[in-house]
Structure 1
Amino acid sequence: MDEYQQLIGVISLTMGVAWASGLNLYAAILVLGFGGSTGGIELPENLQIVQDPAVMLAAGLMYAVEFFADKVPGVDTGWDALHTFIRIPAGALLAANTVGDVSPALQLAAGIVGGSVTSVTHAAKASTRVMINTSPEPVSNWLASISEDVAVFGGLWVALNHPVLFLIAFVAFLFLLIWLLPKLWRGIARIFRKLGQWLGLVEETREAIEDPSAPASSPLSPSKGAPRKTLVEALQGLEAMHKSGALSDVEFEQAKASVIAEHQLA
């Protein structure tokens, strides 16, 4: 029974560290370092390096910088983009060092899984921030940043003290990401498409996809002299754009209804 509880504790710590690193790497290091140095956490030998004062000082300094950068609209997105190359490898390294004295193969496996968890968590955080930055007010950025910090501190505490509860919540979090990430990426694609239109990098005819009620500029309703597409061809074009993420579910249904109505009146 003790071995089973120890295994659950190691898995919880490994996944907790990887998950927290995707949200705020420096806060995760501070939690582990402070807990280990005060005796509140018994860290694996390979992970005890985070208790070193130099490591904690560096993590504290970077956490202070991120605390402010993460709350400025636009700056937070740039910060997340830069930390794609920092959080993911660091999360994988921390996860690999949480499994203790095991074979190199198991340590590598823990690093691979941990790096993957850090990647999807970081992707969800960065994608959400891009969507939040479309709002003109800064309050939503502050709330998101503070919520992430609280989640890191609270999540690691649960992972260390109630590993079974953390793993249940972690599995629910993964299912939520599977459902949420495609929607976030479609939303981001629409944002960048609109930015491209404003900058003149994308043809204006794409605007009609956002507003299917504008038949004059719709690529499915060509101008005079152009060959008219059949209903099947038009619907196939819409279906292809829907599958590629260029159209959301709602936009696809609206565009489809508009095209069908147009062909019925023709």
Structure 2
Amino acid sequence: MSDPSPEYPEPVPGPEWPGPEGAMGRVKRWWVVAAVLILIATAVLALRSYQESGDPQLGQPSVTDTVPAPSDGASGPAPVALRIPALGVDETLITLGLNPDETVEVPTDFDKPGWYKFGPAPGQLGSAVILGHVDSYEGPAVFYRLKDLEAGDSIEVSLADGTIAHFAVTKVETYPKTEFPAEEVYGSHGDETLQLVTCGGEYDADARSYLSNIVAYTSLVDTDSGEAPAAAGQK
């Protein structure tokens, strides 16, 4: 009787080395991962560039040097809301003063216009001024279409005592920031006016700012009593 066949131990598995097909698959996967990472990096850089493209400042002139010196306080009730039917604007107003370097403050909220408190209240004798941004990295801001206003378009300002001051646009002008007509915009000319100011014109990508200002000039039509407006910060 012959000896049985010898029992050989089960082979011990060794390291798995990919064959030609496995190697190609792994290379393809790495290329896909690399391509995805490149796309993500590109998107991040594009977003950062777009975020930096919004106009950071309205670039208003120094008040003490180029516009009438601020008074201790404007006469009349403060404005609390602004309506521009032709542009679909209906927003509460914030109050603006001066920066430490004595330039005019600009709104920190791109969707809110701001009233310059050291001038008269809208409807009072003199030039009231409301400023607003044209855009930001998120898109159009509150005064994005200010340049589209036309003579005769109506502007309504609600005041703290419930009065509504009605203005009509007289003209819309664009000025290089280096030639901003501060006296014409902020100065008193013997009547009741309201000027709306924003940025416009050519955009300087290096400075991240527009090179011009757009000013909508308006004159008072009349005032009437209405319901008390919403508190500041509410619509």
TM over 0.5: no
Return the structure number with greater helix share: 1
Whichever of the two has the greater Rg, that structure is: 2
**Shorter-normalised TM range:** under 0.3
TM-score (normalised: structure 1): 0.19
TM-score (normalised: structure 2): 0.21
